[in-house]
């Protein structure tokens, strides 16, 4: 929880995510981000807070979506959720950001929004962000039961999946 607290406190909004969002982000902490590549320049480990922002980002209600998109043009990681609300604990709307375009999301809960975010990878034929591969592979195999035994799961993904799904 300290990891999530430090991520939350780095934002201008001091109120943390609601418990459902925190649980999803905690899963990301249990499946830490992988290095970005094999070259020395790309082998720097991605921080947990950077990985969290590659899944979900927050914007206060009334903020300009276009200004947000303009500020994220340098970000290559996608797709991700944009949670919109008065605070992180009171999200009223979600958008899926793909190719610096905001797609309105009908989901009213973070679980439904993450469901749509996962499916976005398949609909648009997008590969998982390398640093989030463990997280999305877990979602794919443990939650959606897609390609179990076929997908390349890391030992950590297999361990958590087997412990959570054990009778």
What is the DSSP annotation of 104-129? Answer: EE---SHHHHHHHHHHHHHHTTPPPP
Is residue 159's pLDDT more than 80? yes
Query: What is the pLDDT, as a whole number, of residue 68?
Result: 94
Region at 5 (left for phi over 0; alpha for psi -120 to 50; beta for the rest): alpha
62-113 residue pLDDT tens: 999 999 999 887 776 689 999 999 999 999 999 999 988 999 999 999 999 9
């Amino acid at each position: 929880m300290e990891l999530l607290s430090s991520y939350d406190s780095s934002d201008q909004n001091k109120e943390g995510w609601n418990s459902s969002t925190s649980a999803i982000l905690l899963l990301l902490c249990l499946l830490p981000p992988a290095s970005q590549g094999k070259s020395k320049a790309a082998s720097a480990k991605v921080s947990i807070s950077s990985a969290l922002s590659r899944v979900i980002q927050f914007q206060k209600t009334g903020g300009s979506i276009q200004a947000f998109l303009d500020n994220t043009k340098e970000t290559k990681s996608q797709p991700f959720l944009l949670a919109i609300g008065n605070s992180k604990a009171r999200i009223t709307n979600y958008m899926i950001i793909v190719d610096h375009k905001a797609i309105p999301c009908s989901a009213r809960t973070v679980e439904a929004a993450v469901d749509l975010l996962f499916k976005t990878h398949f609909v648009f034929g997008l590969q998982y962000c390398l640093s989030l591969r463990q997280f999305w592979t877990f979602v794919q195999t443990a939650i959606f039961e897609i390609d179990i035994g076929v997908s390349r799961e890391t030992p950590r993904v297999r361990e958590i999946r087997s412990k959570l799904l054990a009778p």
